[in-house]
Chains A and B, each alone.
Chain A
Amino acid sequence: DIVMTQTPLSLSVTPGQPASISCKSSQSLLHSDGKTYLYWYLQKPGQSPQLLIYEVSSRFSGVPDRFSGSGSGTDFTLKISRVEAEDVGVYYCMQGIHLSFTFGPGTKVDIK
């Protein structure tokens, strides 16, 4: 099974400042179809998770452009250009390359 790791596991950010979360997979997520199946989700307190980014860097419908994803192979990054109060919650990366999916442990983001 592919193991996903995230760093840091918690992050406290001043509003208006940038934030960055790293995600690493134990195997390459590059599929033979040319796509890389790495996703980012945000679970706000008391809510269901919501998709932010799919296939490394594509923003899902309605996601603000302050969220961006990058990376390749086994190393990925989610960046928030200017954190807002509504961005608090737990961020998860997830892989889905071999029709089975695994989540990272999550990164809890709160506001200073």
Chain B
Amino acid sequence: QVQLVQSGAEVKKPGASVKVSCKASGYTFTGYYMHWVRQAPGQGLEWMGWINPNSGGTNYAQKFQGRVTMTRDTSISTAYMELSRLRSDDTAVYYCARSRVVGATGSGYWGQGTLVTVSS
């Protein structure tokens, strides 16, 4: 079965960077896009972008352009999301989510989420 296991909670200071990992299993990692979505405390879902694990191609939401980098390591079936120049309003749960089918389709499978807290 499809499983996405994310790295543990992080506490960062403003201005720092954070890198969240998402290890995939139960399917061919390079066959499906991986989305990243975040949710600030008590707020709704916010799409950040996707990566095509096969080619490494990415598409970022305009809001995060210049601050987010999505990468992957196909040898260990793991996707990464790095967010730089952190601010307090980046405090959120960050989810990875696999596309339902081949291509940049909506996500059908989600990780458990990683809480990133930005505080001085």
Contacts and interface: CB of A to CB of B under 8 A. Distances in A.
B61 interface: yes
Contacts, number: 55
Q: Which of B62, B95, B107, B113: most chain A Cβ within 10 A? A: B107
Contact of A103 (B45, B104, B105, B110): B45
Interface string A64-86: 00000000000000000000000
From DSSP, what is the main secondary structure of chain A's interface residues?
loop
A54 B107 CA distance: 9
Interface of A: 1, 37, 39, 41, 43, 48-51, 54, 60-61, 90, 92, 94, 96, 99-106
Given A48-B113, A54-B108, 4 more contacts: A48-B112, A49-B45, A49-B110, A101-B47
